[in-house]
Amino acid sequence: MTRFGSDSTPDGPVLALDTATKLGSVAVGTREGLLAEITLGVEVRHSESLLPAVRFALERSRVRPGDLRAIIVGGGPGSFTGVRIAAATAKAMVLALDVPLFSYTSLALLAAGTGVPDRAVCALLDAHGDEVFAACHRMPSNGGLETVLEPSIIDVADLAARLTSDRPLWVGGAALRFASLLGEHGNVAGSVLAVPRASSLLWLAQHAPHAGRVSDPAKWTPAYLRPPGVTQPE
């Protein structure tokens, strides 16, 4: 089990981006809390809507790009195109602004969004057929992030059998899809928690910065989990 503490939290305004699923989002916040969050609709192209959403969120937060102290990005897995768009945007911004980059998997992002402390939370996204992108985390009430199961592609029945004794909270679109099976091995979170939210990236950067700090943004690549040539759900 991997544990991460809460030192070196970004000091000042930060921008968070996630477009790993059809419903992307952008958030701006500080240590004191959320300043703005914008959702990107499922019927729009993230490549066209992400930068306008960033500009709007910064304007409404009264934060200038030069005021930002870090960029935080959802680093997949998920839609290959969506993950790539957020990753490219985040890398360009950190290089232009000379600020740190933080990245957390879309699965950690989903787990953090439940706000459930001291319990294994397993996030699942569709990977076609009976396979899912899955990872499990625990968020201790005293802060930090524990990784119970590293991100992987796994058959959902095998995953459920493997974690029966943990009786986790299952969350994500694939958790809803396989709710009848997973409900026998824990609890399934409702649809309101099934989509990653950029504001949860703010929580992760505050409570588990070492889990997400990218040492070399220019060389960083997202966690696609499958090669780009292999079909992934959009």
Q: Is the pLDDT of residue 116 over 60?
A: yes
Please report whether residue 231 resides in a domain: no
pLDDT for residue 134: 97
Q: What is the pLDDT of residues 35-75, one digit of tens each?
A: 999 999 766 788 889 999 999 999 999 999 999 999 999 99
**Into how many domains does the chain fold?**
2
Tell whether 159 is covered by a domain.
yes
Claim to verify: residue 120 and residue 32 sit in the same structural domain: no
Q: Is residue 17 domain-shared with residue 64, that is, in the same domain?
A: yes
SS3 of the chain: the string is CEEECCCCCCCCCEEEEECCCCCEEEEEEECCEEEEEEEECCCCCHHHHHHHHHHHHHHHHCCCHHHCCEEEEECCCCCHHHHHHHHHHHHHHHHHHCCCEEEECHHHHHHHHHCCCCCCEEEEEECCCCEEEEEEEECCCCCCEEEEEEEEEEEHHHHHHHCCCCCCEEECHHHHHCHHHHHHHCEECCHHHCCCCHHHHHHHHHHCHHHHEECCCCCCCCCCCCCCCCCCCC
> At 166, which CATH number?
3.30.420.40
Tell me phi and psi for residue 12, to 5 degrees. 120, -175
As a whole number of angstroms, the distance between CA 231 and CA 214 comes to 27
219 lies in some domain: no
Same domain, 177 and 159: yes
Contact between 31 and 100 (Cβ < 8 Å)? no
In this structure, is residue 230 part of a structural domain?
no
Asked, for residue 66, whether it belongs to a domain, the answer is: yes
- Is residue 232 situated within a structural domain? no
Residues 68 and 159 in one domain: no
Contact 204, 211 (CB under 8 A): yes
Residue range of the domain that includes 180: 116-193
226 inside domain: no
pLDDT of residue 201: 97
CA dihedral for 158, 112, 222, 17, sign (positive or negative): positive
Task: Give a three-class secondary structure readout of 90-126.
Answer: HHHHHHHHCCCEEEECHHHHHHHHHCCCCCCEEEEEE
Amino acid, res. 102 = F
**Do 126 and 95 lie in a common domain?**
no
Same domain membership, residue 155 and residue 50? no
90 and 125 belong to one structural domain = no
155 and 166 belong to one structural domain: yes
Cα dist from 118 to 137, 142, 203, 209, whole Å: 10, 9, 16, 19
Question: Is residue 225, in this structure, part of any structural domain at all?
Answer: no
Q: What value does the mean pLDDT of the chain take?
A: 90
pLDDT for the residue 4? 38
- Same domain flag for 67 and 144: no
Q: What is the dihedral of CA 41, 131, 185, 110, to 10 degrees?
A: -30
Instruction: Please give the residue that has the higher pLDDT: either 141 or 226.
Output: 141
Same domain flag for 188 and 202: no
* Domain co-membership, 9 together with 98: yes
CA pair distance 100, 93, nearest whole angstrom = 10
pLDDT at 63: 97
Entry pTM: 0.90
Shared domain check, 209 and 96: yes
Percent above pLDDT 90 for the chain: 77
